[in-house]
Amino acid sequence: MLIPVVIQKEADGQFRGTVPDLPGCEATGAELGPALTRVHLKIEGRISELLIAGETLPEPNTLDAIRQRPENRELACYEIHINLTHLRAVARHQAGRQV
C-alpha cells in the first residue's frame, strides 16, 4: 500500500510530515530523512490500530491527487510504502483473532 505524505518546512527549520488520508497522523524531524522515518512509523502505528479495532482502512489518494490540492501545490509530496501483510500479521497476533 502506498500512502501519500506531504512535507513542509516549518519556520523553526523542522520538517513536518502529514498524512492527508490519516488525519492527525504527522511527525517532525530536524532533517527530511528522520521526518520521513518518523511519519512512516506513525502511519504503521495508526494502520495497526485500525486493524486491531476491526475498522476499515481508508483508501489512499493518489500522489497526483494530493499534489493537485491547492494547499499542497508548493509543498513536497512523497509516497511511503506500507507492508499490509506484515501489519495484518502483527494485528492478528495482538488482537488474538483473524484480521
Q: HSE (CB half, 13 Å, CA atoms) of 60?
A: 17
In this prediction the pTM is: 0.89
Cβ–Cβ under 8 Å, residues 78 and 94: no
DSSP 23-36: TT-EEEESSHHHHH
Helix (H) or strand (E) segment spanning residue 48: helix 32-52
Q: What are residue 26's phi and psi, to 5 degrees? A: -155, 165
Question: Which mean pLDDT values do the consecutive 10-residue runs of the chain (99 residues) have?
Answer: 96 96 95 97 95 91 94 93 93 72
pLDDT of residue 98: 54
Please report the domains of the chain, with CATH numbers, ordered by start residue.
Answer: 2-95 (3.30.160.250)
